[in-house]
Amino acid sequence: MNKGKETVWITGASAGIGMETALLLAETGYQLILSSRRKKQLEDLSEKILRRYGTSVQVVPLDVTERKEVEKAVRGLPEDWAQVDILINNAGLAAGLDHLQEGDINDWERMIDTNIKGLLYMTRSLLPGMAERGRGHVVNLGSIAGKEVYERGNVYCATKHAVDALSRAMRIDLLGRGIRVTNIAPGLVETEFSLVRFKGDTRKAKDPYRGMTPLGGRDVAEAILFAITRPPHVCINDLVITPTAQANSFYVKRNS
């Protein structure tokens, strides 16, 4: 399958789901703009893509929580890359797992700034171009935490509920503009996610995946590829993806 030269901008591309999506989409023939705060990792990924697939990507180091930086990055795209067909709002994180009354307000702000405001800054900057061209696709990385609320998930769950709500809102506001909006809601995916949530505590970070086979970033990347390769009249609204050993946020079958 070769989709030719559609341009895709992936945020949070330096690791996990973002990185796997970048590799899969490069292999499929998309032209990629890759963003993350981590310039070195992006450059390594860009070299790997060039080596493997002979495709050069546009590396845009960017903190999506910085509104002015986002606007400048979009304005500063080279002419050949300026028509972004698909935006994959992947940058996001969970920080902390505490009861609300003990929560760290800095954690809350990081999650709200990245998961909600960062997604909005990117989307607001790229949608006018898509609307003008009458075509485009926004893929938002939600979560099963955007479908249910679990103990200690409070603010993280709230941000992912916001992503879910914004995906639905975009589909309404963009109706008739030829722009598709897909919400991807994964369950347990083994990436840096847990290490970030538990602030580098490797023992705690392994616990959610204990005695079961979680999803990998590639599993989610494949679902994203499915959504963006549907014919233009088909919009995949919402994909909830869990490991077979997970029914929802509350039920996980473990071997030990």
Residues near ligand 8X3, by CB under 6 A: 143-145, 187-188, 249
Minimum distance of ligand 8X3 from residue 145's CB (angstroms):
4
Based on CB atoms, which residue is closest to ligand 8X3, 188 or 236?
188
Query: CA dihedral in degrees (124, 44, 49, 138; nearest 10)?
Result: -10
Based on CB atoms, which residue is closest to ligand 8X3, 35 or 154?
154
Cβ-proximal residue to ligand 8X3, closest one: 143
Does the annotation count 156 as an active-site position?
yes
Minimum distance of ligand 8X3 from residue 144's CB (angstroms):
5
Q: What are phi and psi of 181, to 5 degrees?
A: -135, 125
- Residue 77 identity: L
* DSSP-assigned letters across all residues of 100-137: GGG--HHHHHHHIIIIIIIHHHHHHHHHHHHHHHT-EE
CA distance 27 to 189: 22
Minimum distance of ligand 8X3 from residue 94's CB (angstroms):
7
Distances (CA, A) of 222 to 50, 113, 226: 21, 27, 6
Based on CB atoms, which residue is closest to ligand 8X3, 96 or 187?
187
Which distant-in-sequence residues (6+ apart) come within 8 Å of 87 by Cβ?
Answer: 8, 9, 122, 123, 126, 136, 137, 138, 139
Distances (CA, A) of 208 to 95, 164, 189, 248, 252: 15, 23, 10, 13, 9
Distances (CA, A) of 43 to 15, 59, 189, 233: 12, 7, 24, 36
Strand partners, 116: none
Minimum distance of ligand 8X3 from residue 243's CB (angstroms):
11
Q: Of 30, 156, 209, 251, which is the active-site residue?
A: 156
Minimum distance of ligand 8X3 from residue 22's CB (angstroms):
20
Based on CB atoms, which residue is closest to ligand 8X3, 124 or 254?
254
Based on CB atoms, which residue is closest to ligand 8X3, 174 or 212?
212
CA distance 112 to 67: 14
Active site residues: 156
